[in-house]
Amino acid sequence: MSTKHKNQNKMKTQRQVLNAIHRLIEFIARLIYMFIAFLKGPAESQPPIKDLILLHSATTLAFKIRNRQLMSEEIVQSYIDRIREIQPVLNCMVEDRFEDALKEAKMCDEFLKSQNAPSPQILAEKKPFFGVPFTTKDCIGVANMKQTAGLTVRKNIVSKYDAEVIRLMRDAGAIPLATTNVSELAMWWETSNCLYGTTKNPYNTRHIVGGSSGGEGCIQAAAGSPLGIGSDIGGSIRIPSYFNGIFGHKPSTGIVSNDGQYPSAQSEDQKRLLAIGPMCRYAQDLSPILKILADKNADILHLNEKVDISKLKFYYMEDDGGQLLTSPVELEIKEAMRKVIRYLEKAYKVKVTKLNIRKLKKSTALWMANMSCKDEKDFTYELSNRNGHINLWWEFLKWTMFMSNHTLIALLTATFERFAVKHGSDQHTKLIQESRELYREFQDILGEDGVFLFPTHPTAAPLHHEPLVKAFNFSYTAIINVLGLPATACPLGLNKQGLPIGIQIVGGLHQDRLTIAVAEELERGFGGWVPPVIVA
């Protein structure tokens, strides 16, 4: 055997040993977290939905408002009442503007009663979400509301203006209702911070809601808002959407403005990763919301064009091929993927082709290379609110004495970053080049009529704090950010533990309408969002 083959076998053995050790750590940690959860008592139950207004899609609410079948004030009050019910249990909201929202809703109703009121058709065209309330994550600026990004030092910082996406939603007639909780500086996939605490999963409060748009995913799933706006730099829309059983869409790179989000991207590579998009319970709402958020770029996406599912080319992978230190994809998720494939093949007579894209094994490394910053603007700089750098070791000492204003995971992230690939190094240059090669490979496969089915996450929502031993599981979504491709998180029901599962649907660049159309079809085939208990 040649030296090259010997080295390859040695590396393969080392990977297998590392993965085996990681599986063991995961198993032991799971038992510990289950025991801690048991000591804390049973999961809390959220109040059931009693108001059937809460079960309408956002587009249906808009239709009923402009046709005077429902009043905006009535709808806004229903959602205010719902948030007040769920907030003590789920802790998804951070700040409300209930009083102002009710005033704005009343103005909408009065306008519709006036002689100057346009026809429903004209209103649908000019202000498609007239009178409909919405929520957004705390990172996205809403004028005269706090914009903390979950960072304690920002607890008194108030946004002076609306982020561009909020302005566009207002122009479309929508009414901001509240902001929702995030992970500290939007850089972790469990929503918890030292300012507002931890958000809990509406299907089982022992489990996480994902991050960073976790509060938004939670409030949508619990019927506390008809639609929401999230942002996604490594899965921050799709992971919370997946864990909470709703729909979420990360648009193609560069389509939606990121103006008014904090923290903002620090480099051109980060700008390509970051995208703002819709989160909602009903797939039919995705395209109308995206059309508003995309503004002048909406024409690039051809969102009004009808999609013929039978003419699409379908591809899939059940996992990433065995990336180091990521959890194996759970069997129930793989089976859900297989059911989708069988459904598409039977309903549309299409052939769904299995792929083996080797570079997906390097997803984490590729994402981290694209996230790296020059000029020492690392995570310790971000944790200082971009005012110098925190003393990392001093903060660790303070944390052990319950005196730090930072979460443990934020400090660990800052520590890990110091050992990651350095911006401008040979390794960094190589990984960036591999990112571009992987993008070209995907574009060659997908083109303008291809769709790629891929797990959103290898497991259902973990227990609180469990992501600490599953840190790299976000790579399933992060690699799609590296590629800049559109991706829609699509729920596929609940697993045996009653937690949501699903997949992400990926398209070629600017083919957002394809992924949304497939999500709409799978909603029809598999039921979409599963609501909590309804009381008639």
**Active site residue ranges:** 137, 212, 236
Which residue in the block uniquely carries the two structure tokens 């929702």? Answer: 180
Q: In 3D, which of 244, 237, 195, 222 has the Cα closest to residue 87?
A: 222
DSSP conformation letters of 274-333? -EEEEEESSGGGHHHHHHHHHGGGHHHHTTTS---GGG-EEEE-SS-S--TT-PPPPHHH
Task: Dig out the tokens for 269 from the structure.
Answer: 């590579």
Q: In 3D, which of 496, 502, 448 has the Cα closest to residue 477?
A: 502
Task: Dig out the tokens for 413 from the structure.
Answer: 């992230």
d(CA 128, CA 191): 31
3-state secondary structure of 359: helix
d(CA 473, CA 157): 32
d(CA 86, CA 83): 5
Q: In 3D, which of 218, 245, 280 has the Cα closest to residue 46?
A: 218
The CA-based dihedral angle spanning residues 191, 176, 154, 423, taken in that order and rounded to the nearest 10 degrees: 60
Residue 255's alpha-carbon distances to 152, 165, 273, 274, 276, in angstroms, are: 31, 11, 12, 11, 9
